[in-house]
Structure 1
Amino acid sequence: MKLKVLGCSGGIGGAGARTTAFLADNDILIDCGTGVGDLELDALASIDHIFITHSHLDHIASIPLLVDAVGEMRGVPLTVYATPEILRILRAHVFNWLIWPDFTAIPDRRRPFLRMQPLHVGESVRLGTRTVTVLPAVHSVPAVAYCLDSGGGQLVFSGDTAYSPEFIAAINRCASLRHLIIETAFPDEQQGLALASRHLCPNILAAILGEIVSSPEVYISHLKPGHGERIMAQIDAAGGRLRPKALRQGQIIEF
């Protein structure tokens, strides 16, 4: 599989700050933040599957605009996968005819532009030779992580998460793990804010990485604008066996 980073910033502010969205091959999105808007229309129309980690705006902002842009161009619905709790939030607060039309009923419920597919932690979706599996995560709203398996290697994306023994255990069950993308939103001096909002800071990240038994390439996402260099300096200073690098917009990871 080939994963392209469309956005990995913890906020907006400048041409290099697009919020979370990863394009796997040409047809799968993992989250759907503002980075999706940089794709050309034909690339948008090629997306068939969107896997959502949680309902915060920086991870879902482009879903309504995407389905509106390509719905009439497609012969099949665009499918959004998430836990039932996350899908309920999307239905109640986004696709509710007030914030945005309910595209699960447009043009009608028999032939919608959008469908929502519930998934639970531990469930997998097989897409050709590829598999996407839901992993546990802990955030301020219902949230999950994902493992992408190409058949030859695996990549795990944490989504937004706090320290989670269940997430660590799930990572350690990934027998072919090649890459780990994990958030670190705040510097250590804002650890209180990280704990309150259920995000990571460098010293909590170090505790997680210290419990991972394999040796994946580790990439840091969701750096808050204005704090990125400070956060990465603190991660570097923590040392450890795994040496994380900052994820970059436009980066391509193959596995």
Structure 2
Amino acid sequence: MKIRLLPTTIDQRGVATTQQHFSCFLIDENVAIDAGSLATATSRHQKKLIKDIVLTHAHLDHIAGLPIFIDDLFVTLSEPLRVHALDETIKTLEEHIFNWKIYPRFSELRNKYGRIIDYRPLEPEIEFSVSHLDMIAIEVNHKVPSIGLLINDGKSKIAITGDTTTTERFWQIINTNQDLSAVLIECAFPNELYEIAENSYHLTPQTLTKELKKLKHDCPVYAINLKPMYHEIITEELRQIKDRHIEVLEIGRDYEF
């Protein structure tokens, strides 16, 4: 399984930076996890390969690129784009984004091939298929209904928390799965902003360390979703953790598991 965190910010030379304002992962080139930078960080060719998008929740940094992505492909879509998400997330998209006030309601539109978007509601803890992947959505603890994911391609398994604060069910489920290849866990704020992290339902390096004590697998752990203005201090605080090595997932790099 190949996974890449798509870039969200470029410098004056047009080079991707470590600043991650949006969340969007690409798996094996054809499945997207979240859609924050999906429209801006993919070429025309890459866009045409992506048939499925799995949304962890409806916050803007995870869905921002979805309307433009669909718009870019509108005329050429020969089959509906499949959007897999919780019912609550789908409802939020239809009421607050695709509502004709912010952006067209693509679910009401057609091109010459037929429908544009196909919503696939998710049931937590019930396995579902996305392209060549089997996934399990696991509810996590965030301000809005949110899920983490256990993703299996038949050869390797990875777990992604999505946005969350301290949570329980996520760890219980992934601990029952053998041969876990990697865990991607959020770490949005530095330790000094613990109160803000708690109020917004995110993790800091200290609370992340406590969460990892619940993990029974000895597998690589990668920190994701670092707020860009605190990237350097969070990275340094993660380096100081002695209980377990935690690597910050590099933007734009292909990881193979």
TM-score grouping bracket, smaller chain normalisation = over 0.9
Q: What is residue 146 of structure 2 aligned with on the other side?
A: 143
Partner Cα distance (2:43, 2:206) in 1: 39
> Which residue type is aligned with residue 44 of structure 1?
K
Partner Cα distance (1:101, 1:149) in 2: 34
Tell me the secondary structure at the aligned position of residue 107 of structure 2: coil
Tell me the secondary structure at the aligned position of residue 226 of structure 1: helix
Bigger mean CA deviation after superposition, 27-36 or 205-214: 27-36
Unaligned 5+ segments in structure 2 are none
> Which residue type is aligned with residue 243 of structure 1?
H
Q: What is residue 54 of structure 2 aligned with on the other side?
A: 51
- How many aligned positions are there? 250
TM norm structure 2: 0.92
Tell me the secondary structure at the aligned position of residue 6 of structure 2: strand
Q: What is residue 195 of structure 1 aligned with on the other side?
A: 198
* Equivalent pair of 1:72/1:113 in contact (CA under 8 Å): no
How do 1:68-107 residues align onto structure 2 when only pairs under 5 Å count? 68-107=71-110
Alignment partner of 1:42 out of 41, 45, 48: 45
Tell me the secondary structure at the aligned position of residue 104 of structure 1: helix
Partner Cα distance (1:239, 1:189) in 2: 19
* Distance of aligned partners of 1:78 and 1:128 in 2 relative to their CA distance in 1, 3 Å threshold: closer
Alignment partner of 2:247 out of 245, 248, 252: 245
> Which residue type is aligned with residue 229 of structure 1?
E
For residues 171-223 of structure 1, give each alpha carbon's deviation from its aligned partner in whole angstroms, at most 9, with x where no partner exists.
Answer: 21222211111110111111100100000001110011111100121111111
Q: What is residue 2 of structure 1 aligned with on the other side?
A: 2
Tell me the secondary structure at the aligned position of residue 221 of structure 2: strand
Tell me the secondary structure at the aligned position of residue 115 of structure 1: strand
Q: What is residue 30 of structure 1 aligned with on the other side?
A: 33
Tell me the secondary structure at the aligned position of residue 170 of structure 1: helix
Alignment partner of 2:157 out of 137, 154, 159: 154
**1:164: how far off?**
0.4
Q: What is residue 184 of structure 1 aligned with on the other side?
A: 187
